[in-house]
Amino acid sequence: MNEKGEDQNNSSVCADGGNSECSAGARRPNESDEEFARRERLQSRMCRIKHKIVVLSGKGGVGKSTVAVNIAAALRLAGLRVGLLDIDLHGPSIPTMLGMEDARPQAAADGFAPIDKDGLKVMSIGFLLADKDDAVIWRGPRKMGAIQQFLSDVAWGDLDYLVVDTPPGTGDEQLSLCQLVEGLEGAVIVTTPQRVASADARKSINFCRALNIPVLGVVENMSGFVCPKCGELSELFCSGGGDETSRKMKVPFLGKIPVDPQVAQACDSGRPFISEFARTPTADSMTAIIQQLGVQYG
C-alpha cells in the first residue's frame, strides 16, 4: 500500500512479471552505447526482483540498519526469497550485524555472488574493504558508480524482496538509488521519539515526495524501555514523535519498537534479533510493523 492507501504491490514488477529478458526500453537522448548497455543490464537484474524497499532515516543511530536487517530476516523466515543491500558506503554496519565481517564476495557466472546468510542474499561495501576500518573517501559520481554496480553486477537472481539499507540523511546514496531503481515499492522511515529526530524524519518524507517514492510508513524505534529483569515497558524519552510525524505528514504509522537490550545484543552478536528472540514482545512489535508493509507471500 502506498501513502494514499492505493495498492502498489505490483508497482515494482515489470510488465512481464519479472522476466529476466525485459529491457531498459528506448535509448535516452545523449545516452552513449556504454551507458545504455549499463542501464539495460541494471534493468534486467531489477526486473527479476518483485519488490524493492528502501529504509531511510534523517539521523544516524536511530536504528535504521537494525530495522532493515530485521525486516529482511523476517521476510526470509516467512519463506520468501530476500536480498539485503547495504549502500551505507561510509559506515556499513550490515556485515557486523549479520556476523559476516570476514566474508568476501566471489565471482559468479554473471557477476559477483551475494553472500548467503541463512538463505538471505547480502551485499555491502563492507565486504569489499581490505580492512574493515578503512575509510571510503568518495565524491558523488563515484558513489553512484558503486551503487550502480551493486545493483547491476551482483547476481541477485530471482527475489521476492530486496531491502536496501542506506546512510542517514538524504544525500548522494539515496538519490542515486532512487534514480537508478525504477518502481521502488516505497520507503520505510525510521525515527526515534524525540522532536529533533522527527524534524529529520520529515525531511526524509519530503525527499521521497520530491522523487515520487511512496512512503510505506514511519517506525518509531527506541520508544520506551523494556526492563531486562521484569520485562516491564517504561518511558525512557518522550514518546509519540513518530506517530505525530506520521499524522502531520499524512503517511502511515507502522508502529513502535522499544529500547530492548536484547536488540543491541543480537546486533553485536551478528544474529538478527527477530530470529534469535522470536518469542518476545519486542519481536511481536517488529512483526506487527512488517505485517503492515502489505507483504506479498509468493
Contact residues toward ligand ADP (CB under 6 A) are 57, 60-66, 93, 221-222, 257, 259-260, 263-264, 267
Q: Which is nearer to ligand ADP, 185 or 260 (CB)?
A: 260
How far apart are the C-alpha atoms of 89 and 112, rounded to whole Å? 18
CB of 12 to ligand ADP, least distance (A): 23
CA 21 to chain centre: 26
**Residue 170: CB minimum distance to ligand ADP, A:** 14
Question: At its nearest, how many Å lie between ligand ADP and the CB of residue 260?
Answer: 5
Write the single-letter amino acid at 160.
D
CB of 56 to ligand ADP, least distance (A): 10
- HSE (CB half, 13 Å, CA atoms) of 202? 15
Three-state SS for 219-248 is: EEEEEEEECCCCCCEECCCCCCHHHHHHHH
Q: Smaller CB distance to ligand ADP: residue 63 or 114?
A: 63
How far apart are CB 261 and ligand ADP at their closest, in Å?
6
For residue 229, the tally of other CB atoms under 10 A from its CB is 5
List the Cα angle 206/18/45 in 5-degree steps: 75
Q: Which is nearer to ligand ADP, 161 or 273 (CB)?
A: 273
Residue 210 or 264 having the CB closest to ligand ADP: 264
Q: Are 242 and 198 within 8 A, CB to CB? A: yes
Shortest reach from residue 159's CB to ligand ADP, in Å: 22
Angle, CA of 124, 125 and 126, to the nearest 5°: 85
Please identify, using beta-carbon distances, which residue of 61 and 231 lies nearer to ligand ADP.
61
Are 251 and 215 in contact by the 8 Å Cβ rule? The answer is yes
Q: How many CA atoms lie within 13 A of 45 on its CB side?
A: 23
Q: Closest Cα to residue 92, out of 51, 136, 54, 139?
A: 136
Q: Which is nearer to ligand ADP, 12 or 124 (CB)?
A: 124
Q: Rounded to the nearest whole angstrom, what is the least distance from the CB of residue 239 to ligand ADP in the complex?
A: 13
Rank residues 46 and 222 by Cβ distance to ligand ADP and give the closer one.
Answer: 222
CB within 8 A of 65, min separation 6: which ones? 55, 86, 88, 93, 94, 97, 165
DSSP state at residue 126: G
How far separated are the first and last CA of the chain, in Å rounded? 17
> Closer to ligand ADP at the Cβ: 222 or 251?
222
Task: State the minimum distance, in angstroms, from the CB of residue 245 to ligand ADP.
Answer: 16
